Amino acid sequence: MARSSIWRSYSYAWITLGFFVISLVGHWLFGWFAYVNEQQSHGEAATFGPYVVEMMRDTLENWQSEFLQLLWQVGGLAFLLFLGSPQSKEGNDRLEAKVDELLRHLDPERGDAIIREIDDRYSGRHTDEPHAHR
């Protein structure tokens, strides 16, 4: 079995990182041009120190309003689903209950045994009790 490269395995992350770097460099570069024009219009020299402070403020402001909000909405939701938050378990428990009922309906004699076999296989539990939802 061929191993895929780190570039292929994480291609979405690499593309996202590329967009991030390009947009960050573009933000700072065009910010510099705007800063120089503003300083020239006031008859002042453009210096790097005040520019860095202004751009850090603008960058953090943009991250707060856009990037962090999206990061929390997507990344936070994915993380909580991965951890198994109560909200993510509701859908799984409901689906599992429906499948269990279908198995019982399709094979009334062996439905509970099939459910126990599946539970044992995937959870490591061994019980003789009828299937109870967690």
- Tokens representing residue 26 in the block: 């573009």
Q: Provide the pLDDT for residue 24.
A: 93
pLDDT score of 45: 93
| Region of residue 85 (left: phi > 0; alpha: psi -120 to 50; beta: else) | beta
Are 131 and 112 in contact, with CB atoms under 8 Å apart?
yes
Q: Assess whether pLDDT exceeds 50 at residue 48.
A: yes
Lowest-confidence range among 20-24, 44-48, 64-68?
64-68
User: Looking at this protein, which amino acid is placed at residue 3?
Assistant: R
Better-predicted residue by pLDDT, 28 or 98 = 28
pLDDT bucket at 9, cuts 50 / 70 / 90? confident
Q: Is the pLDDT of residue 112 over 80?
A: yes
Q: Where are the domains of the chain?
A: 6-83, 86-123
**pLDDT attached to residue 86:** 62
Torsional sign, CA 107, 108, 110, 111: positive
Residue 51 in contact with residue 35, Cβ under 8 Å?
A: yes
End-to-end CA gap in the chain = 39
